[in-house]
Structure 1
Amino acid sequence: GLGGLGGLGGLGGGRCEEGGVRYSEGPGASGDVYIEAVPAQVWDLVTDIGLPARLSPELQRAEWVDGATGPALGARFTGYNRHPGLGEWRTVSHVVALQDQRTFAWVVVDPDGRFGEPSADASHPLATWRFDIEPEGAGTRLRQSARIGPARSGVSLAIDRMPEREAEIVSMRLDELRTNIDATLRGIKTLAEANR
């Protein structure tokens, strides 16, 4: 998370008969936090593509490309990532939903073929990310969501090695995403409330 994506409602994904979620079903994770700051302050933080690199362990840095200097529908940014099990890789993200002080969403593609065939096709992402902002009382409710697939990703590489453990692998990745989302939301809350 992340238009054409609706609200990514029902992010939990479907269940396979063994009781686990399959990668092909586009499972996801999400979290939300109440922030004692106005939506405009929260918006400035969520649309800062460099901020998650300071708050979450996987993204190392991000930068706008193709002359973009900030969020705009269709704008692209490059992310540089690191994961203990996968090493380092580059992604390109396409902004696919943007509504001022409400929604910022992007899809992630694998232009270098790190996980399969190289692809810059935003209609077939390896992940979709989304922030949604709602005014709540004197403050703001911030929700972040992520959905994995359908294009190949690091999860696909692990499933290739251990196909019988697909549900467990997907579940572990969703747990990682929840941890990263929680860290990002906590960080944004701290920064927004400190800057009131």
Structure 2
Amino acid sequence: MSPPSASVSIQIAAPPAVVYDLVTDITDMGDWNVECERARWVGPVREARPGARFRGHNRHGRRRWSTLCTVITAEPGRAFAYHVQAAGLIHVAVWRFGITPTETGCHVEQSTWTTRNPLMRVIGGLVTGVRDRVAHNEANMRRTLEGIKRVAERA
């Protein structure tokens, strides 16, 4: 895979399994994710495994939108990734959490790859109110990982 459009990492003093359980419990995603207010499973599969789908409901200021996500990687304690589509057919991005064990817990890296074509980048900016998606994602990813860290280290 090509280098990510944006990537941020953090050290978390919690076992990889705890962090993995947090990032794959998409129904609680709004508790620690900055832009995603809530998410819900779509279809018969209601757990993190390849092919499972969920709808994310997002917000930036007064602007709101939803996306359809399909899980592409679900490796317990190691990695969780999903492909994001807008309007059910427009490729938007791939998001991934990589979890690496350390002596004191784990190293967690959140990365994203933009898959929008140039026209959709402009339209996406108008819909979401975000002109510089890379800088916006990096700032949100830092806050998201700090939220995961707070929750994981309390567990």
- TM-score (norm. length: structure 1): 0.69
- How many residues are paired up? 151
- Summarize the Cα distance change of 1:35–1:100 in structure 2 as closer, same or farther, 3 Å threshold: same
CA distance in 2, matches of 1:185, 1:58: 12
Aligned pair 1:92/2:68, yes or no? Answer: yes
Alignment of 1:66-81 (within 5 A): 66-81=43-58
Aligned pair 1:183/2:152, yes or no? Answer: no
Aligned pair 1:55/2:32, yes or no? Answer: yes
Match of 1:25?
none
Q: Does the CA-based 8 Å contact 2:36-2:57 persist in structure 1?
A: yes
CA distance in 1, matches of 2:118, 2:86: 8
Percentage identity across paired residues of the two chains: 34
Aligned residue identity for 2:85: V
Q: Does the CA-based 8 Å contact 1:126-1:153 persist in structure 2?
A: no
Q: Which has the higher strand share?
A: 2
CA distance in 1, matches of 2:154, 2:124: 41
State the Cα distance separating 1:139 from its structure 2 match.
1.0
| Structure 1, unpaired ranges of 5+ | 1-5, 12-27, 113-118, 161-168
Cα deviation 1:144-180 (Å, max 9, x = unaligned): 01122235787322679xxxxxxxx4xx211110111
SS of aligned partner of 1:126: strand
Match of 1:65?
42
Question: Which aligned runs of 4 or more in structure 1 are off by greater than 3 angstroms?
Answer: 151-155
CA distance in 2, matches of 1:37, 1:159: 36
- Summarize the Cα distance change of 1:29–1:101 in structure 2 as closer, same or farther, 3 Å threshold: same
- Summarize the Cα distance change of 1:34–1:72 in structure 2 as closer, same or farther, 3 Å threshold: same
CA distance in 2, matches of 1:91, 1:84: 17
The structure with the larger Rg is: 1
